[in-house]
């Protein structure tokens, strides 16, 4: 098993990148989007998935404003070893719904994983993909009729639409191995989204307290 790491980075967010890189294992590839006229998180995410390293069994794509936990590399390797065939969601936001309810139940019971309900939002802040599913997803995208803008803009929306149409259940690590502090402006939505609980982890492993949502 070999996990390759790529960072989805938007040019100009250097402070976020400087915070992130020391927390990741070595050998990280930084995939930079420099287009300031047509901002598109999906374009950057699509680039991260293309041509994965040939010697990798899994590809972890993490956004530049994410905050991995302590011992992130070793904890992710353990998770991949337990669920090698699943897309692992290392961050799940606190939006109401079945995923959040099941996540809290898993946390209280000591379960290490819980499904991300395929009809709810799929945050792509930090996902670890088995390479065969990377290829399957990219092949699907070539002919998919995705609702919304053409070409797509939202990376969450495209990945979520694939999960929904294919009925793929991603598996979330419990607690989350990655936090999204939401302290940098969104690439497309600007700073007015600061403080949105849906953009923060349900329960981050470095600060988790078992309780009710």
Say if residues 60 and 128 touch (Cβ distance below 8 Å).
yes
The pLDDT assigned to 66 comes to 97
What CA–CA distance (Å, rounded) separates 32 from 66? 15
**Per-residue pLDDT at 189:** 59
Neighbouring CB atoms inside 10 A of 180's CB total 23
pLDDT attached to residue 194: 47
How many angstroms from the chain centroid is the CA of residue 33?
17
Distance CA 116, CA 99 (A): 5
Task: Say what the pTM is.
Answer: 0.92
pLDDT along the chain (213 residues), means of 10: 96 93 96 85 97 97 97 98 98 94 96 94 96 98 94 95 93 98 75 62 84 46
Please state the three-class secondary structure of 70-89 as a single string.
CCHHHHHHHHHHHCCCCCEE
The pairing of strands 126-130 and 58-63 is antiparallel
Q: Considering just the CA atoms, what is the radius of gyration of the chain in Å?
A: 16
What's the chain's length in residues?
213
> What's the confidence (pLDDT) of residue 210?
46
């Amino acid at each position: 098993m070999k996990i390759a790491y790529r960072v989805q980075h938007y040019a100009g967010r250097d402070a976020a990148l400087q915070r992130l890189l020391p927390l990741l294992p070595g050998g990280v590839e930084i995939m930079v989007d420099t287009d300031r006229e047509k901002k598109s998180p999906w374009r950057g995410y699509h680039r991260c998935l293309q041509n994965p390293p040939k010697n990798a069994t899994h590809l972890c794509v993490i956004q530049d404003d994410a905050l991995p936990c302590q011992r992130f590399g070793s904890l992710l390797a353990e998770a991949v070893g337990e669920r090698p065939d699943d897309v692992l969601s290392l961050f799940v936001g606190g939006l109401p719904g079945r995923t959040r309810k099941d996540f809290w139940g898993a946390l209280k019971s000591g379960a290490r994983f819980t499904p991300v309900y395929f009809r709810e939002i799929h945050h792509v802040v930090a996902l670890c993909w088995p390479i065969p599913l990377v290829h399957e997803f990219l092949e699907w995208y070539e002919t998919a009729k995705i609702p919304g803008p053409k070409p797509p803009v939202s990376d969450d929306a495209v990945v979520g639409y694939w999960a929904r149409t294919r009925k793929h259940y991603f598996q979330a690590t419990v607690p989350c191995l990655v936090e999204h502090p939401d302290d940098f402006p969104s690439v497309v939505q600007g700073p007015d989204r600061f403080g949105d609980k849906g953009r923060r982890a349900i329960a981050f492993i470095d600060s988790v307290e078992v309780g009710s949502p």
